[in-house]
Amino acid sequence: MPKTKADCGVDQVVEEVRRGTAALGTFGIPQRVSLIDRLRRDTLAVADDWVRAGCEAKGLDPASGAAAEEWLGGPTTVLRNLRLLRDTLTGLARTGRPALKRGEVARRGGRTVVRVFPGGLDDRLVLGGYRAEVRMEEGLSPEDVEGTMARAYLGTPEETSPALCALLGAGNVSGIALQDFLHKLIGENHACVLKTNPVNEYLAPFYERAFAGAIEADLLRVLPGGADVGAELVHHEGVDEVHITGSTAVHDAIVWGGPEVREDNRRRGQRVLSKPITSELGCVTPVILTPGKWTAKELEHQAWNVASMVVNNASFNCNSAKVLVTARDWPQREVFLETLAGILGAIPTRLAYYPGAEARHAAFCDAHSDVRLCGEAQEGHLPWALATGLASDEPDGTAFENEPWCGVLAETALDTADPDSFLAAATRFCNEELFGTLSCCLVVDPRTAKSHGAAYEAALAELRYGSVVVNHWPALSYGLGVTPWGAHVGHTLEDIQSGIGFVHNTRLFSRMEKCVVEGAFVPGVKPLWFVNHRRAREAAAAMARFEAQPGPGALFAVARNGLAG
């Protein structure tokens, strides 16, 4: 297997992957399925070591429940992605057409939708009580959907043409980079050079072991290095396009240049990168708490729900909860905030492993007068910070306009008296005042959703986010694999917000607008991503084995550990 380290040089790595790119034209579905089978075996074989390395880097005990985060954010979701892509390809090979089941395509909220989850009995047993749909672009009829799918296989010569993509990997969640590669290879017919992020460069050997089959076929190289290596790669004449998972600032530096010329170049439309670039960037993720009359059990569950969205991965997630949107006159508002603060105070703080976290945390706390610091932070850790009562009509740059990449959460209360007016006002506020369009969480109890159904449906339709997730952490949409993950459509390079394009698109859709995922207000089984799930690590590891080798025994292990939460 060729070397893939930075000392090979960008020229050599690109030259090697160009060989694989040239061969993609004859790399048919049977070969792709065979490659996926190899990747599944190798990923499972390296999974324990991969997770252990992630835990060590983030200060987590690999035997603790918190280690579930490294399973779910790493090997488990990669293996699920591989299984789902295999299903799509085998169906395409069998019929020559994209697989659409009877009843999957429907109309809702003025859009054509495809009901993608649950897909079968396995989905119902592993993640029962959730449903998800992909909402297509305006004007697309149910009859049009099939023609928009699998375009890398059934499309025009331009759509099926192989290319080489420079992938700039994420530094926070270990499975993102490999799933981005899978989307580019299987979904778009592109080979890739993956430049790892310096924050998690330690993952490079595990990526190479897990995806050795793709490296041997010259379809992938893993390239460590800093910003200088990334700049050389994206501007290399052998690279056809770029995909980045990262920050808006880094994206804009690539497209428009350094800070001394960036705004002038943007104003004149003078790009320093002329190649196509897609992106998944940040977001000030809102959690909208629709006022209702909640039981004590419901309120506590939702407080744990929000706390888990903050605590996971020390809040270094593009879908971490960042702004709570409440109704000022909701009788349970203060009780909820007190319950949430108490839970955060009882959860151990985390290592602030991402560079710059301390400065961002301090800036957030300095900008707000009513900040509660929750939890006793040991050396290298930061306390969870909860700022309440921010004025919604005077957006503060720290909380509403910039993604605070650390463990902080702001709350703003809207002056609305009933669910109908609140949902409309919250939708406007999130769409117009908060930075980003990647994902949001809409919390609404079933009684309110039923009695205010029109307002609920309007919010689902009008919230401008790539994923709208009801009652649960938006990361659920990231992990399902059948729900394409990306910003809401419509951004431009001049105003990139949360990015352009979708990944994790295992059904190979195009022309989608967003995804909607709905789940129970209080599910019968505690979600695996809850920080107080007692068997989360065991269930997440069992899920990885199930995704790699589905069968009754593996499924039973997932269910047994999941139910013990």
List of residues 6+ apart from 36 with CB closer than 8 A: 82, 85, 86, 89, 186
d(CA 312, CA 197): 20
498: tokens are 């949360």
Name 166's bridge partners. Answer: 193, 242
Contact 223, 195 (CB under 8 A): yes
d(CA 420, CA 411): 20
492: tokens are 């431009």
d(CA 311, CA 344): 8
In a domain, 138, yes or no: no
d(CA 545, CA 370): 46
160: tokens are 């099926």
Reported for 88-91, long-range contacts at CB under 8 A and 24+ positions apart, including other chains, are 88/150, 88/186, 88/506, 88/507, 88/508, 89/29, 89/32, 89/33, 89/36, 89/186, 90/29, 90/33
CA 188-193-197 angle, to 5 degrees, is 115
Range of the domain at 365: 285-450
List of residues 6+ apart from 421 with CB closer than 8 A: none
Name 242's bridge partners. Answer: 166, 277
List of residues 6+ apart from 50 with CB closer than 8 A: 70, 74, 75, 174, 203, 206, 210
Q: Which DSSP string corresponds to 294-329?
A: --HHHHHHHHHHHHHHHHGGGG-STTSEEEEEEETT
In a domain, 503, yes or no: no
d(CA 326, CA 295): 17
Contact 17, 164 (CB under 8 A): yes
CATH number at residue 436: 3.40.309.10
In a domain, 195, yes or no: no
Tens-digit pLDDT string for the chain (565 aa): 334 444 569 999 999 999 999 999 999 999 999 999 999 999 999 999 999 999 999 999 999 999 999 999 999 999 999 999 999 999 999 999 888 988 999 999 889 999 999 998 889 988 888 999 999 999 999 999 999 999 999 999 999 999 999 999 999 999 999 999 999 999 999 999 999 999 999 999 999 999 999 999 999 999 999 999 999 999 999 999 999 999 999 999 999 999 999 999 999 999 999 999 999 999 999 999 999 999 999 999 999 999 999 999 999 999 999 999 999 999 999 999 999 999 999 999 999 999 999 999 999 999 988 899 999 888 999 999 999 999 887 665 679 999 999 999 999 999 997 999 999 999 999 999 999 999 999 999 999 999 999 999 999 999 999 999 999 999 999 999 999 999 999 999 999 999 999 999 999 999 999 999 999 999 999 999 999 999 999 999 999 999 999 999 999 999 999 988 7
151: tokens are 């375009």
Name 195's bridge partners. Answer: 168, 223
Alpha helices in 416-499 (DSSP H): 419-433, 446-451, 453-462, 475-480
In a domain, 335, yes or no: yes
CA 105-110-115 angle, to 5 degrees, is 25
In a domain, 423, yes or no: yes
The number of domains in the chain is 1
203: tokens are 């993952």
In a domain, 98, yes or no: no
